[in-house]
Amino acid sequence: MMRRPRAAGSSRRLVAVTLDEASIGRSGPDIEHERAVAIYDLLEANSFDPAHAARGPFKLHLSITGSRLVFDIRRANDEPVMAHLLSLTPLRRIVKDYYMVCDSYYEAIRTATPDRIEALDMARRSLHDEGSQLLAERLKRKVNVDVETARRLFTLICVLHWKG
């Protein structure tokens, strides 16, 4: 679990994020790096506002159960706030395409021309944006997040979804 200290008054935010180790498949160093950076960046700056939760800050534990993503949301003192289950079905195509492009991108970094690397990076960012927007839309009734928080959460969902 990674934590970042925050100033008092930052109540609509995450202060800790964990991923269910049983849900994470084997992955290479590129994927592990993406995971670590996403968690670090998420804790540095985020906007996380669960519906009907009067106060935070919050802890988030992400896991996959069957074909559902589980958002286990708690207050910083571990008091349960809500467990929100989200179907992964609408995200599957984007996650699959994202990983295909990421694999090509990481391979291209080692051997391809700068033009090829740039094209793959643009495709990777475009799919990431699409996934982030879909995630924010699917969460909006239960948890409001800003664009950057949705982007980092999408990265973590991809890490969970990735089965190496």
Number of domains forming the structure of the chain: 1
Pairwise pLDDT comparison (52 vs 2), residue with the higher score? 52
Check residue 25 and give its pLDDT.
62
DSSP conformation letters of 34-98: HHHHHHHHHHHS--EEETT--S--EEEEEEEETTEEEEEEEETT--EEEEEEEESHHHHHHHHHH
- DSSP, collapsed to helix, strand or coil, labels residue 104 as helix
Mean pLDDT of 123-142: 95
β 14-19/68-75 pair status: unpaired
83 and 73 Cβ atoms separated by less than 8 Å: yes
Confidence of residue 163 (pLDDT cuts 50, 70, 90): low
Query: Look-up: residue for tokens 């890490």?
Result: 159
Range of the domain at 68: 2-161
What would the pLDDT profile of 21-45 be if each residue is shown by its tens digit? 776 666 677 677 878 888 999 999 9
User: For 41-45, 49-53, 60-64, 104-108, which range has the lowest pLDDT when averaged over its residues?
Assistant: 49-53
Mean pLDDT of 100-117: 92
Which residue's structure tokens are 């934590």?
3
Task: Note whether 132 and 150 are within 8 A (CB).
Answer: yes
Question: Residues 113-148, buried b or exposed e (16+ Cβ, 10 A)?
Answer: eeeebebbeebbeebbebbbebbbebbeebbbbeee
Name the residue among 16, 89, 26 with its Cα closest to residue 57. Answer: 16
pTM: 0.84
- How close are the terminal C-alpha atoms of the chain, in Å? 22
Question: Helix or strand or coil: residue 19?
Answer: strand
**pLDDT score, position 49:** 93
45 vs 3: which has the higher pLDDT: 45
Please check whether residue 4 is in contact with residue 44, taking contact to mean a CB–CB distance below 8 angstroms.
yes
Each residue of 141-158: pLDDT tens digit? 999 999 999 999 998 888
| 8 pLDDT tier (thresholds 50, 70, 90) | very low
| Residue 72 contacts residue 60 (beta carbons within 8 Å) | yes
